[in-house]
Structures are given as C-alpha cells and as structure tokens.
Amino acid sequence: MMQAKEVDAAADYVGRGRAHHGLTDADLAGAWVAAFRAYSHNPDPAHPFRSALEDLEAELNLRQIDPPFEAVREDLERLKAAAMQVWEQLKAAPEHFAEVQRDLQLDLISFKARRDRPQN
C-alpha cells in the first residue's frame, strides 16, 4: 500500500497529465535509474532532477513496480555521503537541526518501507 506522501505525489503527477504513461516498464525503470544517477550527483531538492525522479517514481508506484534500487547502489552511497555532509553542517546550526531531523526521519521511514516491500 502506498504511503500518504506517495499517494499525494501520484495524484499530483496524474493531475499534470501522467507524462511517462507511454513508456514500457523497462524504459520507465531505465529512465528512473538515469534520473536517480543524475540526482545523486546534484542532490539539491530544488534541482529539476528531483522533480523528474519524483514523476518517474510516481509512475512506477501507479504501476505497482518497485524502483530498481539494486541498479543504483553506487549512487545510493553517493547520496549517503552527501547526506552525512549535510548532517555535519546541521549539527553546527542547532536552530535548524530539530526540524530537519524530523523531516529526514520521515523520509527515511518512507524510503525503507518502499525498499523493503516484498518483491512481486
């Protein structure tokens, strides 16, 4: 079952016309991998790679296909390193720490739930 955030993202994506609907499952997975790799090199949430990744993930969710995380293991490590760098910066600015910590925990819970879903 999709989490509330995923449902909202899918509804938003559908409302904007479901741009990736015409892709085959294989092409969709490949596009997601390419977008994830590009995002891992520039993990700014405001970067266009992030919105492209979210749309591709919404299409995957609508098709009940798990993102191919096994294909992006190296990229996940890159994101992990970037997250650790941000973490160190946040520890130096405690006024923002609590808010960001809460948001990161929610994102991590959502990610782990998607990643750990049983494979079809």
Map out the domains of the chain as residue ranges. 4-115
41-56 burial string, b = 16+ CB within 10 Å, else e? eebeeeeebbebbbbb
Angle at alpha carbon of residue 28, lines to 22 and 31, rounded to 5°: 120
pLDDT band at 63 (very low <50, low <70, confident <90, very high): very high
pLDDT for residue 1: 40
The pTM of the full predicted model, rounded to 2 decimals, is: 0.71
Comparing CA positions, the residue from 12, 8, 34, 24 lying closest to residue 60 is 24
Other CB atoms within 10 A of residue 112 CB:
10
Q: What is the pLDDT of residues 70-119, one digit of tens each?
A: 999 999 999 899 888 877 887 787 777 777 778 878 887 877 776 777 75
